[in-house]
Structure 1
Amino acid sequence: MGAMWLIVVVAVAVGAFAGWRRHLFPGGWGYALASRFAAERGELAHARSKVRGLEGTARADESAARAEVAEQEQRYKSELRTRERLIASLNEPGTGKRLAGLGEVALYEHVVVAKDAKGVRHTLQLAGLGVEFEWSEESYYLYLVRTDGRRVRADYARVGVSPDEAEQKERQETRFTEKQVRDFADTVRDTAATENTFRARLPERLKKAEADLDRVREDTAAQERARERLARVQERNKDNPHLRTAREELEAERLKWRALTGKMPPG
């Protein structure tokens, strides 16, 4: 069974090859396959190959030039988007990434989010924020002081002050050491200082970012050079004397073949 299939496959392949040869060299099987017409077939095939090679080179050159144009346009757009995103982030920095947290207080790059003793959630800008620490017999207190003087208090139950350990476990209340709360207060204070510096430098950074955006927007030289190169390649391909000569030679070979066989071969 395997040998039969092999014979069939070989026969199909041979038939396809012969059919393709007859398409390239029309006029009958003899013209397509006989050795006495090998020279004529060779001249026609050579002329075809020369044209195909030159056409392929022309297409490759134009494709490369188009790719360069696309690359420069994409690079230009990417640089614009990068600078536009920077300006947007400077104008609207948002919360920034989360940096730390303790109890009901979460610290971000530009804000601190706190839930006070009444369960009210506050989002406070770090710029100008004051931080105070106090304590009582039962709790530590972190005060976040707004620029208008209003304060948000976060309570932290103290470790080791409950006389009834069973009651403490039942309430499932997290308790904190003085060091934990003081260290966190220092972290919030330091981050607020960093934010103050960021805000102070913001006008200068915005001015520079906007100037960079204008510079990038106006700098289209690379794109123009790529487009000019593409235009030159297209013009060269349009009037390529080598390709024109090769096509004329191919046409002459096709006419010779028609004179020989009565059939015009494909180009």
Structure 2
Amino acid sequence: MGAIWPAVIAVVAGGAYAGWRRYLFPGGWAFALAARFAAERRELAEARSKVRGLEGAARADESAARSELAEQERRYKNEVRTRERLIATLNNPGTGKRLAGLGEVALYEHVVVAKDASGVRHTLPLAGLGVELDRGEESYHLYLVRADKQRVRVDYPRLGANPDDTEQPRFTEKRVRDFADGVQNAAAQENTFRARLPERLKETEAELDRVRADTAARERARERLARVRKRNEANPHLHDAREELETERRKWRALTGKMPPA
């Protein structure tokens, strides 16, 4: 059974080849396959090949020009979107990324979120925020002082105090002081950020205007595509090759009574 399959495949492939030849060179099997019409088939095939080659080169040139235009369009849009996103972020920075946390306090780039000694949760802007630390008998008291002087107190039970209470986490003074320093430093950075914000916004908006106005690269790519299309449309070599192919097709029709495909 295995020896039959190669023969079957060969017959199918041969039939497909013969059918394709008859499609390219219509008029009967003799015109498609016989040696006496080889010269006529060769002339028609060469005319086709010449047109295909020139058309392929023209398509490749136009495709490259279209790709360049698409790339310039993509770059332009990305440049504009990048600056638009930056302006939106500057106008509304939100909380920013999380920087640190200790107990009931989470520190972010632009705010600190804290649950006070009464269990009330507060979201405090870092701009203008003050930080104070007091050492009580059983806890360290971290005070977050808002710009309007309102104070939020967070308690950190001291390590070693009230040893019978094993449910609450305990904190060393160094750990609490290090965290308080981190909050204070983040607040200082936020103050600097807010102070520079109007200038940064002005600079970024001016840059956005400049990027939007800079369309030179896109225009060059668009003009190149137009030139390539115009050149391809007026290509005398392609025009002559198509005329030659039409001549060969008409000769074949005169010989066989059938017009071959282009």
TM class by smaller structure: over 0.9
Which residues of 2 match residues 89-238 of structure 1 at below 5 A? 89-162=89-162, 165=163, 167-169=164-166, 172-238=167-233
Separation of aligned partners in 2, 1:21 and 1:79: 54
Tell me the distance in 2 between the aligned counterparts of 1:174 and 1:23: 87
The residue that corresponds to 1:47 in the other structure is 47
The Cα shift of 1:27 comes to 1.6
Cα deviation code 1:95-116 (max 9, x no counterpart):
1111111110010111100000
1:93 Cα offset (Å): 0.6
Report the Cα offset of residue 39 of structure 1: 1.4
Provide the alpha-carbon RMSD of the alignment: 1.0
Q: CA deviation at 1:6?
A: 2.1
How many Å apart are 1:5 and its aligned residue? 2.3
Structure 1 residues without counterparts, runs of 5 or longer: none
Aligned residues: 262
The one-letter code sitting in structure 2 at the alignment partner of 1:133 is L
CA positional deviation for 1:89 = 0.7
**Aligned equivalents of 2:188 and 2:258: distance in 1?**
90
Distance 2:26 2:159 in 1: 100
CA shift for structure 1 position 12: 1.0
Stretch moving more, 66-75 or 191-200: 66-75
Q: In 1, Cα distance between the equivalents of 2:96 and 2:148?
A: 23
Instruction: Give how far 1:259 is off.
Output: 2.1
CA distance in 2, matches of 1:134, 1:5: 92
Gaps of 5+ in 2: none
Structure 1 CA distance, aligned partners of 2:195 and 2:113?
A: 22
| Alpha-carbon distance in 1 for matches of 2:114, 2:91 | 24
How high is the sequence identity, in percent, across the aligned residues? 76
Instruction: Find the counterpart in structure 2 of residue 82 from structure 1.
Output: 82
Matched letter for residue 165 of structure 2: Q
- The whole-number CA distance in structure 1 between the counterparts of 2:190 and 2:110 is 6
Which residue does the alignment assign to 1:65?
Answer: 65
Q: Which amino acid aligns with 1:231?
A: A
Separation in structure 2 between the aligned mates of residue 117 and residue 133 of structure 1, nearest angstrom: 14
Of 239, 247, 266 in structure 1, the residue corresponding to residue 242 of structure 2 is: 247
Whichever residue aligns with residue 50 of structure 2, its letter is K
Worse-matched range after superposition: 58-67 or 190-199 = 58-67
Structure 1 residue 129: Cα displacement = 0.5
Query: Matches of 1:146 and 1:56 in 2, distance apart?
Result: 71
SS of the aligned residue for 1:168 comes to coil
Q: Letter of the aligned partner of 2:107 in structure 1?
A: L
Counterpart code for 1:78: N
Alpha-carbon distance between aligned partners in 2 of 1:188 and 1:202, rounded to the nearest angstrom: 21
CA distance in 2, matches of 1:156, 1:247: 89
**2: CA distance, partners of 1:142 / 1:206:** 35
| Alignment deviations for residues 166-188 of structure 1 (CA, whole Å, 9 cap, x no partner) | x312xx10011111111111110
Q: Give the Cα–Cα distance (whole angstroms) in 1 for the partners of residues 112 and 184 of structure 2.
A: 11
Q: What SS does the aligned partner of 1:226 have?
A: helix
